[in-house]
Amino acid sequence: MDISCKRARVASNEGKASLEGLLDRVDVVCLQETKIKDMNMGIVCSLGVGRHIDWRAINSRGAAGGVLVFWDNRVVELLEVEEGMFTVSCQFKNSVDGLRWVFTGVYGPGGPFTWRGGLNNQSQSRLDRFLVTDDWDRMFDGAVQGILVRPVSDHFPILLQGGGLKRGPSPFRFENIFVLDAKLIALKVFLKTWNKEVFGVIDTKKREALSNVEYWDELEKHSTMSLEDCEARKEAKEAYKTWVLREEVSWRQRSRELWLKEGDNNSRFFHRMANVHSRRNWLSKLKVDDRWHTEEIDVKNSVVGVFNKLYTEEGGWRPGVEGLPFMRSASIEAEGLGVPFAEGEVFAALSYLGKDKTPSLDGFTMTFWLFCWDLVKVEIMSFFKEFHEGGRFVKSLNATFLVLVPKKGDAEDLKDFRPISLVGSLYKLLANKIKKVMGKVISESQNAFVEGRQILDAVLIANEAVDSRLKDNVEGVLCKLDIEKAYDHASWSFLLAVLKKMGFGERWIKGLRQGDPLSPYLFVIAMEVFSSMLRRAISGGYLSGWRVSGRRGEGLQISHLLFADDTLVFCEESSDQMTYLSWLLMWFEECLGLRINLEKSEMIPVGRVHNIEGLSLELGCKVGELPSCYLGMPLGATFNSLASWDGVEERFCRRLAMWKMQYISKGGRLTLIRSTLSNMPIYFMSIFFLPRKARLRLEKIQRDFLWGGGALAQKPHLVRWNLVCLEKSKGGLGVRNLALMNSALLCKWNWRFANEREALWRRVISRKYDEEEGGWCTRDVMGRNGVGLWKAIRKKWGLLDGRLAYHVGNGQRVRF
C-alpha cells in the first residue's frame, strides 16, 4: 500500500504535467491546494492516473485551498466519506485482506523539511506529514515515509510506503525460544525448518491454545467436568501460557530492548520496538564518493567496491620498528598465551557475553552454546586445542559479517557509517585470551582494552591536568586528534612486526587477521607505536608534555592519553613543538597506514594562549575551547556545572520518545525506570558530583513517566518519590536513589585509590594532593574547586572509612 500527499496547483497545465510522473505507482493520492473551484472527473483523468480510479474532493475558495483525494479502486474500496470545510475523510477497505481504515486529507499546516520558500529558499519547515493509528502501524509494520521530487510546487510530495522494507535474504538466526522445547537438535539446517514449521506461527498457535481454554470454560458452564476434563483444561491453560511466553521472548530478542526481562508481559511493546529498529536500519538511498545510489544493486556494488579497496593493503616501502622502544615481555607465552584453554575458562567467557547476541554468520546466540554446553563442549574444546597446538582452525569459523553502524542519526553518506566486523561465537573467545597479557606490553597512557584500566581514568587525569594549569596560570595547548577509520587502515605487515618485537609467538601471530574481533586489541597495539614515538620525542627534548603540579612541587609529567584511537596530547605554547608534533604524526601515518583527520581534530588553548591561531595553522587543525568534550565527558567544566548535565536530560527524553509510552503498562514503566532510566546517568555520576538541581530535573522525568505514562494531561503522583526509591522489603518500589548512587560511585574512587597502588591515575592524584599516612587516601583538598574532580570525590572518604576492614600485614600501612 503506497500513499502520497502533495501540494500542487492542479489548475495549471505545468502542475498537471509534473504530477503524471509521480503518480504511476501510488495507490491513494491526496493533492492539497488544488485551486480548483469545481473539481470534476475530466480534471482528475487529465492527471494521467488511469481508468481504475475513484475520487472525492472539496472545492477551493477563490484562489486558495482545495483538496483532492483519489485512489485505485482495484486496491481499496470506498465505504464512507465525510467532507468538512478543510478536510476529506474516506473510510476504505483493502481488497486483499479486508482491513478497514480511514484516510483524511487536510488543507492546512500539518516531518527533513517538506516546504522551502522565501527569499532564496532561506525559509524551510516541516508542514506536511502522515498521521496513522497504532493498529494501522502494526498492520503495516514496514511502513516508511519518504520525500519525492518537487518539480513545481514549493512543497515536496510525501510518500507513505506500506509494502514493507527492502531487505536481502534473511540469514539463519537461533531463536532463544528454541531452548524452551526439550527436543532441541543442534543442527542449523533442521533448525531452520523447525523454526518455520513450529515457531514461525506463534500467533496462530497462541490463538488455538486460547480457543481450547475457552472451550473448556464453556463446557464447565453447562455440565459437570470429570477429572479428565479438569486435567485437559489445565493442560490447555499451560499451553497458552507457553505460547505467550514464547511470543514475548521472540519479540524481545528482535526489539534489542535488553533491559527488560522475559516475563514482563510487554509483547506489544517489544513488537513496536522491533518495527522501530527495522525502519531505523532501512536505507532508501546512499551517497558513496559524492554520488547518490538509490537502486539496491547499485548500493551493494558501490559499498563492496569501497571496502574491497579499503581492505587491500597498498604496497611500497614503510619505515620499520627497529628504532622504536617497545615494552616487551618474554613471559607472554609462558604465563598467558602459552597456557592451553581450560574448559572452565571457555564456559565462563561464554557466560559473560550477551545471551541475545548473534555476532556472526553462524547465526547462533550465546544462549545456544550455554544451553547445549554438555552436548557441544567436546567439539568446542577440540577447536581451541587445534588452535593452541597448531595455530590454525576451521576456515569457516573465521568468516565475518561487515556491519555498517551509523555514527549519527539519519546517516545517508557512507562516510557517516562505522564498519564493524562480526565473527563467529567461538572465534570471539580468542579475544579474552589475548586481553590477559595486554597490560604487559601496553604503556600506562592507554586506557582501553587493558585489564584494570577504565575509560574514566583518562577523564580524571585530563581534568586534573587542566585544573593544575589553570590554577598555576601556566599556558598550554591540548591537541585532540581524530584518526580516520582507525580500525580499517592499519598496515597488517607492520602490525605483525610490532607483535614479534613485543614478544608474541608465531602461534598467535599466525592465527590473527585483520578485521577479526581482536582488532580493538590489535589497534591498541598499533597505537603503542604512537606512544613509543612520543616517548622518543620527549626524551630528545622535542616535546615536553605537562607537569601536573603537586603540594610538594614535583608533580608528575603527562605527555598524552589514549583510549583506543581517542588521542589527547599535552603540549606547551610553542610553535616549535607544533612543528615537531606534525612531523611525528606524518611518520606515524607512514608507518601504520593510518590517517589523522585534521578536519575533525582540534587544538584547545588552556589559559591565555595569544598565538593559538598560528599554532593551529602549524598543525593544520581547527581551534576549540574549554569546556570541551572528551570521551563523552565534560573537559574543563566546573565541577558543579548544571549545563554539563543537559546532555543526560536530553538522553532521558530521547529514550522515552523511543519507547512509545502508550504500549507499556504501569508495571512495565516501573521496570523500565529501574532497569534503564536509573542507569542512564551512571556514566556521568561515576566521576562527577550530581548537583541537587540537576538531580531534581532527572527525578521529575522519572516521576512523570511512572505516573503519567507520557500523557499530555498532568496526572497525580500517588506516592512520594522518596518512598518509591525505598527497597521493596521496606515498602518501596526499588527505584534507584540518584543521590545515594552518586555518593556510592564517588566512594568507589576512594576504594580504588587505596588498592590500585601502581595505576597512573592514582599516581597523578597522589603527587598532586599528597597522601595520608599509609596511603589509604589523599590529604584533604584545600582551596577552590576549579575544574578538578578530586575534591568532590575526596569528600566521600568519610562515608567509606568507617565501613572498611583492614588486613594487618607487617604494620607499615596499618596503625592502631
Same domain as 722, residue 647? yes
Residue 268 has pLDDT above 80, yes or no: no
pLDDT at 101: 81
pLDDT at 746: 95
Same domain as 430, residue 489? no
pLDDT at 737: 93
pLDDT at 417: 78
Over residues 432-461, mean pLDDT: 85
Q: Per DSSP, which regions of 554-658 are E strands?
A: 556-558, 560-563, 566-571, 595-596, 602-606, 622-623, 628-630, 633-635
CATH number at residue 42: 3.60.10.10
Q: Whole-model pTM?
A: 0.67
Last residue of a domain, one of 246, 265, 280: 280
Higher pLDDT among residues 272 and 775, named by residue: 775
Same domain as 267, residue 200? yes
Strand order across the beta sheet in which 28-32 lies: 53-58, 67-72, 28-32, 2-7, 158-161, 144-147
Residue 804: count other Cβ atoms within 10 Å of its Cβ.
Answer: 10
Same domain as 95, residue 84? yes
Residue 352 in domain: yes
**Three-state secondary-structure class, residue 469:** helix
Residue 192 in domain: yes
Residue 806 in domain: no
Same domain as 142, residue 248? no
Residue 568 has pLDDT above 90, yes or no: yes
Fill in the amino acid letter for 183.
K
pLDDT digits (tens, 9 = 90+) for 174-221: 444 344 333 333 455 555 565 555 555 666 677 778 788 777 777 776
Q: Grid coordinates standing for 360? A: 556472526
Higher pLDDT among residues 783 and 58, named by residue: 58
Over residues 322-337, mean pLDDT: 64
Rounded to 5 degrees, φ, ψ at 534 are -65, -40
Contact 364, 569 (CB under 8 A): no
Residue 740 has pLDDT above 50, yes or no: yes
pLDDT at 192: 58
Closest listed residue to residue 187, CA positions, set 195, 197, 176, 177: 195
pLDDT digits (tens, 9 = 90+) for 619-676: 889 999 999 999 989 999 887 888 889 889 888 888 777 665 555 677 778 888 888 8
248-256 long-range contacts (CB < 8 A, ≥24 apart) are 249/176, 249/177, 249/180, 250/175, 250/176, 250/177, 250/199, 250/202, 252/356, 253/175, 253/176, 253/356, 253/365, 256/356
- Mean pLDDT over all residues of the chain? 75
**Whole-number Å distance between alpha carbons of 534 and 444:** 13
Same domain as 431, residue 443? no
DSSP assignments along 660-692, one per residue: -GGG--HHHHHHHIIIIITTTTHHHHTTS---H
pLDDT at 392: 64
pLDDT digits (tens, 9 = 90+) for 455-465: 999 999 999 99
Higher pLDDT among residues 442 and 368, named by residue: 442
Same domain as 234, residue 103? no
Residue 61 in domain: yes
pLDDT digits (tens, 9 = 90+) for 595-622: 888 888 999 999 888 889 999 998 889 9
**Whole-number Å distance between alpha carbons of 740 and 799:** 11
> Could you give the percent of the chain with pLDDT greater than 70?
66
Same domain as 779, residue 797? yes
**Three-state secondary-structure class, residue 444:** coil
pLDDT digits (tens, 9 = 90+) for 668-704: 788 888 888 888 899 999 999 999 999 999 999 898 8
Last residue of a domain, one of 368, 402, 435: 435
Same domain as 64, residue 121? yes
Higher pLDDT among residues 312 and 749, named by residue: 749
Higher pLDDT among residues 412 and 756, named by residue: 756
Residue 305 in domain: no
Beta strands 2-7; 158-161: pairing state:
antiparallel
pLDDT digits (tens, 9 = 90+) for 369-390: 777 778 777 877 877 777 777 6
**Three-state secondary-structure class, residue 91:** strand
- The neighbouring-strand residues paired with 418 are 405
pLDDT at 98: 79
**Whole-number Å distance between alpha carbons of 183 and 372:** 11
pLDDT digits (tens, 9 = 90+) for 528-546: 888 999 998 998 889 998 9
Q: Grid coordinates standing for 550? A: 603537586
Contact 355, 365 (CB under 8 A): yes
Side-chain half-sphere CA neighbours of 288 within 13 A: 15
Last residue of a domain, one of 635, 668, 692: 635
pLDDT at 176: 45
pLDDT at 141: 55
**Three-state secondary-structure class, residue 32:** strand
Rounded to 5 degrees, φ, ψ at 514 are -65, 135
What is the domain count for the chain?
Answer: 6
What residues have CB less than 8 Å from 761, skipping those under 6 apart? 457, 460, 461
Same domain as 558, residue 569? yes
Residue 631: count other Cβ atoms within 10 Å of its Cβ.
Answer: 18
Q: Which helix (H) or strand (E) holds 212?
A: helix 202-222
Contact 770, 550 (CB under 8 A): yes
pLDDT at 178: 40
pLDDT digits (tens, 9 = 90+) for 500-537: 888 777 767 665 554 454 566 777 888 888 899 999 89
Same domain as 416, residue 475? no
Residue 7 in domain: yes
Residue 94 in domain: yes
Higher pLDDT among residues 332 and 752, named by residue: 752
Q: Grid coordinates standing for 562? A: 589514549
Same domain as 705, residue 747? no
Rounded to 5 degrees, φ, ψ at 402 are -100, 110
pLDDT at 315: 62
Query: 699 lies in which domain range?
Result: 643-736
Contact 567, 530 (CB under 8 A): yes
Contact 400, 423 (CB under 8 A): yes
Contact 465, 570 (CB under 8 A): yes
Over residues 268-278, mean pLDDT: 55
pLDDT band, very low/low/confident/very high, at 341 (cuts 50, 70, 90): confident
Residue 224 in domain: yes
Grid cell 504501569 in the structure block, residue: 666
**Whole-number Å distance between alpha carbons of 91 and 87:** 13
Closest listed residue to residue 582, CA positions, set 601, 565, 564: 601
